[in-house]
Amino acid sequence: MFTQRITAALAGATALSLALAGCGDSGGTSSSSGEAVTSLSILDYYNNEPDKSLVQKGLDACATKLGVTLQRETVPGADLIPKVLQQASSKTLPDVLMLDNPDVQQIAATGALAPLNDLGVSADGFTQGIVDATSHDGKLYGLAPVVNTIALFYNTKLLAEAGIQPPKTWDELRAAAKKLTKPGRYGIAFNANATYEGAWQFLPAMWTNGGDETDLTSPQVAEALQLWVDLVTSGSASKSVINWTQGDVKDQFVAGKAAMMVNGPWNIPSLNESPQVKWDVVQFPVNKPGQTPIAPLGGEAWTVPLNKDEAKQQKAADFVKCLSSDDNELAWAKARFTVPTRTALGPQYVKEVPSMKAFSEQVANARSRTGKLGEKWPDAAKVIYQAIQLALTGQASAQDAFKKASGS
């Protein structure tokens, strides 16, 4: 106790003298912008294991490289935007901010983020879809090292038993789903709930068929909705899809209550925990031969909020750049079952992680949700999920649903 107090006193005295020495030294020679940046604060929503520590590894690697220490804060996914709003109004945004890619344009439009082009960061060699998502008014506001998308998972054992090949067209999908439906088991599971998640799950069908969010009343979009309607009304998919989340969909698949599912690669770790379920993945089927499967891009981008301290802002930009280096992209992609955004890394990645082949192919042609509509995307997404709900509950036909949902 006594010695502790002496140590504390000595430490205090040392600190004081150092501070005084510091004051004496700085007389006129160094300006504030020239001070070395020694720490960066970070906010992200990877608050669950194993993602939390896997992300931490990549962050630490870049911190060591740039000679900074990190103050990282993680919040649950749903709390991120409220937290960002809170910090924005109290001017306490972190130096490096992670955002879900469809949110980047909305936040950038408020003027809260620093354009990365001015800070020596570019997205050359990145897959175009993600560059669209993280750009606003021709400027780059974030970099996403890895991305994901959704495709068709299927239970290899159940398909083999039924003598079915994984479907490549919608007709094959309808037929396969029907044939795989048995008492207590549905052919396919997907999420059609009344949230942005429900809209996101519909996009592979809509975009693959040539539908477009700028004109939701087109016949191509209606055809895609008809696919969802057919799967539910034929009994090949549960009527509960209108309330399911993607997590529910995965649970159905793992429990053997669905032979196929539309879902993303983030489920692979939890699928691997149930080795009795044998599965594989194919790209989302096409309506007519010759079409290319186009799915939406998921994943998070790292951005730099505007900072008066230019040195810190520059350091933060360097940090974001480092997170998208070849090494880190590959490390994160392998550890977290995501796809690297630098297209050149694709072949090597698929060689090392064969289970990600279908997702890598699907990402190559994938589009971002905000690529065309920018900050107006949430309005379109709302119309999409409401139309799906109207059609699946029989309140409107697939042809009329979008008109009805948009209120015209």
Q: Does 88 help bind another protein (rule: CB under 8 A)? A: yes
Closest separation between CB of residue 192 and another protein, Å? 9
Closest separation between CB of residue 199 and another protein, Å? 12
| DSSP-based three-state secondary structure for 262 | strand
**What is the C-alpha separation between 294 and 207, in angstroms, rounded?**
6
Which is nearer to another protein, 286 or 390 (by Cβ)?
Answer: 390
What character string, x for contact with another protein (CB under 8 A) and - otherwise, covers 193-232?
xxx-------------------------------------
Which is nearer to another protein, 231 or 335 (by Cβ)?
Answer: 231
Q: Does 378 help bind another protein (rule: CB under 8 A)? A: yes
Ramachandran region, residue 43 (left: φ > 0; alpha: ψ -120 to 50; beta: rest): beta
For another protein, which residue of 4, 29, 31, 89 counts as binding (CB under 8 A)?
89
Q: Does 389 help bind another protein (rule: CB under 8 A)? A: yes
Pairing of strands 151-155, 279-282: antiparallel
| DSSP-based three-state secondary structure for 212 | strand
* Among candidate residues 391, 361, 45, 360, the one with its CA nearest the CA of residue 202: 391
# chain residues binding another protein, by CB under 8 A: 30
What character string, x for contact with another protein (CB under 8 A) and - otherwise, covers 66-85?
---------------xx--x
Which is nearer to another protein, 63 or 231 (by Cβ)?
Answer: 231
Closest separation between CB of residue 127 and another protein, Å? 27
DSSP-H helix ranges across 181-245? 196-208, 219-233
Pairing of strands 96-100, 39-44: parallel
Closest separation between CB of residue 238 and another protein, Å? 6
Assigned token pair, 81:
């935007």
Residue 382's alpha-carbon distances to 200, 226, 406, in angstroms, are 11, 18, 9
For another protein, which residue of 41, 56, 106, 397 counts as binding (CB under 8 A)?
106
Q: Does 109 help bind another protein (rule: CB under 8 A)? A: yes
Q: Which amino acid is at 335?
A: A
Q: Does 122 help bind another protein (rule: CB under 8 A)? A: no
Which is nearer to another protein, 279 or 385 (by Cβ)?
Answer: 385
Assigned token pair, 142:
């974030």
Residue 310's alpha-carbon distances to 98, 107, 324, in angstroms, are 20, 20, 22
Which is nearer to another protein, 47 or 128 (by Cβ)?
Answer: 47
DSSP string over 18-76:
HHHHHHHHTTTT--GGGSPP-EEEEEE---STTHHHHHHHHHHHHHHHHT-EEEEEE--
Per the document, the length of the chain is 408
Which is nearer to another protein, 110 or 122 (by Cβ)?
Answer: 110
Closest separation between CB of residue 142 and another protein, Å? 16
What character string, x for contact with another protein (CB under 8 A) and - otherwise, covers 231-270?
-------xxx-xx-------------x-------------
Closest separation between CB of residue 275 and another protein, Å? 24
| DSSP-based three-state secondary structure for 319 | helix
Could you list the residues that contact another protein (CB under 8 A)? 81-82, 85-86, 88-89, 106-107, 109-112, 193-195, 238-240, 242-243, 257, 378, 382, 386, 389-390, 392-393, 395, 407
